[in-house]
Structure 1
Amino acid sequence: MKEYLEKKVLVLNLDHSPIGVVNVYKAFVLTYLDKATALVQYEDLQIRTVDKVFDYPAVIRLDDYKNIPHKGVLLNRNNLFKRDDHTCQYCGSSKDLTLDHVIPKSKGGKTSWNNLITACHRCNTIKGNKTPEEAGMALKTYPFKPNLSYFLAEYAERHAEEWIPFLATKQV
C-alpha cells in the first residue's frame, strides 16, 4: 500500500514544460483546489476516501504560468554517473568507476558537463594526462549538458511511462 502512495506525479507549467515532480498528495491538492489540471492518470490506481473515489494523477499541468528561473541540472558525481549510465565511456565497464576530464585540466580542460565523463579506474590510468586522441582511446558517447527532461525521461522509462509523451526526447 505504501509503494502505491509513493508513485510520483510529473508537474508541467502552463506551457507544458516540465518543472518538477511531486508526490500524489501535493498533486491531488493542486487539482482539488483548481490550481492544476490532471492530464493523464495512472491506470488501475485510485485515491479512495470514505465516500469518494478519485483518479490517481500521473501528469498535471498548472492552470497559471509560473515564472521559474532555470537552474539547470546540478553538476555532481551522481548526476554524471546517471548521464553516462554508470558505465565507462571508453570500454563500457561498470566496475571501479571514477570521473575523467576528457581534455585534462593541465591542458586547459574545464570541470564542466561537456568535459567530464565516467571512466573506469583502468581506462583513466591508461589515458593519464592525455586527450583521448593522444592516448588512442575512443569515446563511446560524447559528454553533454543534460536538462531536467533528460533525467525525468530516465525515471519515466523505468517507473512512469505515462510521462514520456510530455518529455523531450533524450539528448545524444
Structure 2
Amino acid sequence: MTGVLVLNAGYEPLQRVSLAHAFRMLHRQVAVVEEAVDGRTFGPYPLPRVLRLVRYVQMRCRNRRGIPTWSRSGMLERDAHLCAYCGTVGASTVDHVLPRSRGGASSWLNTVAACLDCNHRKRDRTPQEAGMRLRYEPHVPTHLDLLAR
C-alpha cells in the first residue's frame, strides 16, 4: 500500500494517509517524522515514511473482536494483489469462492483477489466446478495486517 503510516503518540498504528495529507499534518505541527526516506526532502521536511502524532488521540472502538470490516480494497491488500488462481501480480478483481448467485457473501472467508482472466474463466462456479485450485485459503486479517503493507 502506498502512503504514509501514521502512529498515535503512544506508537500504536492508526491509519495510512496520502503524502499530501502527511505534509499538511507536518505543516500544522500535529505530527513529527519518525522514519524518513534517506536523502529525500520536500521543502523544509524530510520525505516521511512514518509519522507520529504529537498528541494522543482516542481510537474509535472498531468492534469487539478486533476484526476489520470487509472492503474490496482491504481484501486486495490482504492478498497483496496476487491472483488466488494463477498467482500473477496485479489482480484487480474480487472473486467470491462461493458465488454470490448461490448465496455467497462478501466476507473475508469467501473472497479472494483474482486477475480478470481467471475471474472470467471461473464465472459463477465454485473453484472445484471450474477445475481451478486456490493457491491460498482466504483468512480474516487483523487491522495491523492491513496497515503494515
* TM-score above 0.5: yes
Runs of at least 5 residues in structure 2 that lack an aligned partner in the other structure: none
2:125 match: 129
Residue 68 in 1 paired to residue 51 in 2? no
Cα distance between partner residues in 1 of 2:90 and 2:35: 39
Q: Which has the higher contact order (CA 8 A, sep 6+)?
A: 2
The structure with the greater share of residues assigned to helix is 1
Q: Is the 8 A contact 1:40 1:57 kept in 2?
A: yes
Which secondary structure does the structure 2 equivalent of 1:40 belong to? strand
Q: Is the 8 A contact 2:122 2:130 kept in 1?
A: no
Which secondary structure does the structure 2 equivalent of 1:16 belong to? coil
1:59 match: 50
Structure 1 residues 100-115: aligned runs within 5 Å: 100-105=95-100, 108-115=103-110
After superposition, what is the alpha-carbon deviation per residue over 1:60-98, rounded to whole angstroms, capped at 9, x for unaligned?
Answer: 21232211323846512x444444344431233569964
Structure 1 residues 3-152: aligned runs within 5 Å: 8-20=3-15, 21-22=17-18, 23=20, 24-31=22-29, 35-48=30-43, 55-69=46-60, 70=62, 72=68, 75-76=71-72, 78-93=73-88, 98-105=93-100, 108-119=103-114, 120-125=118-123, 128-130=124-126, 132-133=127-128, 137-147=132-142, 149-152=144-147
Change (3 A) 1:137 1:11: same
**Percent sequence identity over aligned pairs:** 31
Instruction: Report deviation, 1:8.
Output: 4.9
Cα distance between partner residues in 2 of 1:30 and 1:149: 27
Q: Is the 8 A contact 1:18 1:149 kept in 2?
A: yes
Cα distance between partner residues in 1 of 2:133 and 2:42: 51
Q: Is the 8 A contact 1:97 1:121 kept in 2?
A: no
Cα distance between partner residues in 1 of 2:41 and 2:31: 18
Q: Is the 8 A contact 1:40 1:60 kept in 2?
A: yes
TM-score (norm 2): 0.62
Change (3 A) 1:19 1:90: same
Cα distance between partner residues in 1 of 2:51 and 2:35: 7
Instruction: Report deviation, 1:140.
Output: 0.7
After superposition, what is the alpha-carbon deviation per residue over 1:11-38, rounded to whole angstroms, capped at 9, x for unaligned?
Answer: 201231222325342232244xxx4343
In our comparison, the structure showing a higher alpha carbon Rg is 1
Change (3 A) 1:36 1:138: same
Change (3 A) 1:56 1:142: same
**Count of residue correspondences:** 137
**What letter matches 2:35 in structure 1?**
V
**What letter matches 1:92 in structure 2?**
G
Runs of at least 5 residues in structure 1 that lack an aligned partner in the other structure: 1-6, 155-172
